Amino acid sequence: MRNFVILMLSFILFTACNDKKDEKIRYTQKSDEINTLKDLLKNYEEADWDTYKTHFADTAKLYYNSRDAIDVETAMATHEENNAALSSYEFPDDKDEFEMVVTDDDETWVNYWGDWQGTIAENDSTVHIPVHITARFVDGKIVAEHVYFDNSGISKALSDLEEARTKDQDSLNQE
């Protein structure tokens, strides 16, 4: 009888351990989707827009500090326009955090927390902006992306630049 109880307990323990292997991972910091988001950020840094857009589904909706969605083409045009005044820009890797979660509704989301850094070409001033990105994936493609950032740092830097231009122009006009 004792051997039977030990055998049954062993069987229960064995099957309980095997059941865990079949469970879907609900949280991780290493996944193909995280690698895709890392590649997307690299494509952005390199202004490789052709590769950048391959990470998105054709119907992807992007939300940048807004409830109003834009498409990938509009996002790329906005990035190019916003980055035109910069000599460089990047997401420095030293403080990046990535995670992937699978929700109770079986949606796969990748979250990113990090900093964006840009240098204004005209005066070499550097701006740091904290950024949060959350992207929903379906079949390896981004179908929704929400990007949140505090744009006040770059707004102040550009305002300071405009103020310096005005002072320079006023000095020239007084001479």
How many structural domains is the chain composed of? 1
Can you give the CATH number for the domain in which 145 is found?
A: 3.10.450.50
Q: Which band of pLDDT confidence, cut at 50, 70 and 90, is reported for residue 155?
A: confident
Q: What is the mean pLDDT of the chain?
A: 87
pTM surpassing 0.85? no
pLDDT bin (cut points 50, 70, 90) of residue 19 is low
- Is there a domain that residue 17 lies in? no
Tell me the pLDDT tens digit for each residue of 29-87.
899 999 999 999 999 999 999 999 999 999 999 999 999 999 999 999 999 998 998 99
- Enter the DSSP assignment of 116: E
| 165 occurs within a structural domain | no
In-domain check, residue 54? yes
H or E element: which one contains 86?
strand 86-90
Report how far residue 113's alpha carbon sits from residue 82's, in angstroms, rounded to the nearest whole number.
Answer: 21
- Find the radius of gyration of the CA atoms of the chain: 24
Q: Which residue has the higher pLDDT, 155 or 77?
A: 77
| Residue 118 domain boundaries | 25-150
pLDDT of residue 8: 64
How many C-beta atoms surround the C-beta of residue 15 within 10 A?
9
Contacts of residue 54, Cβ cutoff 8 Å, sequence gap at least 6? none
Q: Is residue 107 part of a domain?
A: yes
C-alpha closest to that of 63 among 145, 6, 163: 145
Other Cβ atoms within 10 Å of 16 Cβ, number: 9
Is residue 60 within a helix (H) or strand (E), and if so which, with residue range? strand 56-64
Tokens of 132: 């949060």
